[in-house]
Amino acid sequence: MSLVLRLILIGVSLLTLIFVLVKIRKSHFTISDTLFWLFFCLVLLVIGIFPQIPAFFAGLLGFQAPSNLVFVGIIFLLLVKMFLMSVKLSRLEDKLSRLVSRQALDEHEKAKQAEEAE
Amino acid sequence: MKTVFIIRAYNEEGSIARVVDALRKNYPQYDYVVVDDGSTDATAEICRKNGYNYVSHPVNLGLEGAFRTGMMYAAENGYDAAVQFDGDGQHNPEYVAGMLALTEEGNDIVIGSRFLTEKKPHTLRMLGSRLITLAIKLTTFKRITDPTSGLRVYNRKTILRFAESTALGPEPDTVALLMRKGVKVTETQVSMNERYAGKSYFTILSSMKYMTHMFVSILLLQWFRRV
């Protein structure tokens, strides 16, 4: 792995870390949602500091270059994250839809009762 | 049978009053509920002024969400049958009596079909309809001549199903799925009108999206779904 790639990994890792911490400070993020990103930062940082680790696994798995393994690994991690987010989004949509229906029906019930009371 | 019309209205200020007034005047034996799906025009205002029985969504949910609100209403108020009815004036309430009779004979869903005895015209839109008919035929071995018809009658059992379940919409793929799960679906011939006002949601892009959704859902995903 080239020095440039290592520096980029370390740089991106630190930037992401700062970004996440700022978001936590401003409470834009729940703690459980930040865990993934902290883990992500850690992985990038470790790879950037110890290129021997990807080099070892790249040799083991037969990758031509350690950097390829790093790319594949990052892509895979992001795919998993995206999939989980997609599932979560669907659930949220369903919940929102139920809430809206419920709220509308309750409102209707209230209006009807008020009318009858008059 | 205690029957309720579920009238979905999204920005239908031009037609909702005509639809509901005609229904109230000519068919007082049926109950109805207007589901205002977060309209940004005067739809809710018209409903309130005219004293209609209506439910108003605070935000727009789309056809599926509005339909579910209606089904929840029907379930909670003890209705035996629910009529899926458009707020734009396309549907004729005169056919509902016949559809309810078929419901009473033991059908779970009765679809008002434009093409049971009439021929389907050869337009681009009807090509889509044909393809969905074909997809349903391939997976259920049954023929639904007008799968995209929005005039449907559901019995109590199906009302409860829709009110409780996630991911069941008032669309052809759900009909096909339910047919495969043993729900009895039948059709009867009806005629429909041009919409009174406003314009249809269908554009080229949305149609393509709709067709893709239907095909993937009917041909592939159906095998993995549980109801």
Residue type, B47: C
Give the pairing of strands B109-113 and B152-155. antiparallel
Tell me how close the Cα of A91 comes to any Cα of chain B, in angstroms. Answer: 10
Nearest beta carbon to residue A97 from set B61, B73, B76: B61
Mean pLDDT of B188-195: 90
Residues of A in contact with B167 (CB under 8 A): 94
Q: How far is CA B58 from the centre of its chain?
A: 22
Which tens digits make up the pLDDT trace of B90-121? 999 999 999 999 999 999 999 999 999 988 88
- Band (pLDDT 50/70/90 cuts) for residue B197 is low
**Token pair for B62:** 């789309």
- By C-alpha distance, which of B118, B148, B119 is closest to B136? B148
CB–CB contact A97 B35 (8 Å): no
**Is A94 part of the contact surface with chain B (CB cutoff 8 Å)?**
yes
pLDDT at A26 over 70: yes
- For chain A, the average pLDDT equals 90
Question: What is the 8-class DSSP label of residue B35?
Answer: E
What pLDDT score was predicted for residue B158?
96
From the list B35, B54, B65, which residue is nearest A97 (CB)? B65
Q: B3-224: what fold? A: Spore Coat Polysaccharide Biosynthesis Protein SpsA; Chain A (3.90.550)
- Per CB-CB distance under 8 Å, the chain A contacts of B69 are 100-101, 104-105
Strands (E), A37-103: none
Interchain CB distance below 8 Å, A105 and B69: yes
Residue A94 with chain B: CB contacts under 8 Å: 166-167
Closest by CA position to B47, among listed B17, B19, B6, B87: B17
What are the b/e assignments for B140-176, b being 16+ CB within 10 Å? beeebbbbbbbbbbbbbebbebbbeeeebbbbbbbbb
Collect all residues of chain A within an 8 Å Cβ-Cβ radius of residue B68. Answer: 97-98, 101
B40: phi then psi, degrees, rounded to nearest 5 = -100, -5
Residue A107: closest C-alpha in chain B: B55
Min Cα separation A76/chain B (Å): 25
How much is the average pLDDT of A32-54? 89
Q: Whose CA is closest to A66, among A42, A16, A74?
A: A74
Amino acid in the structure at residue B129: S
Query: Which positions 41-60 of B are in contact with A (Cβ < 8 Å)?
Result: 54-59
**Residues A70/A1, Cβ–Cβ less than 8 Å:** yes
Query: Residues B14-46: pLDDT tens digits?
Result: 999 999 999 999 999 999 999 999 999 999 999
What number of other Cβ atoms are within 10 A of residue A105's Cβ? 19
- CB of A104 within 8 Å of a chain B CB? The answer is yes
Chain B window 61-120: which residues touch A at a Cβ cutoff of 8 Å?
61, 64-65, 68-69, 72-73, 76
CA atoms within a 13 Å half-sphere pointing along the CA-CB vector of A96: 12
Question: How far, in Å, CA of B225 to CA of B199, rounded?
Answer: 34
B90-99: b (≥16 Cβ within 10 Å) or e? bbebebbeeb
pLDDT at B160 over 90: yes
Cross-chain residue pair A100–B54, CB shorter than 8 Å: no
Query: Which residues on A lie below 8 Å from B64 (Cβ)?
Result: 97
- pLDDT tens by residue, A71-109: 999 999 999 999 999 999 999 999 899 999 999 999 999
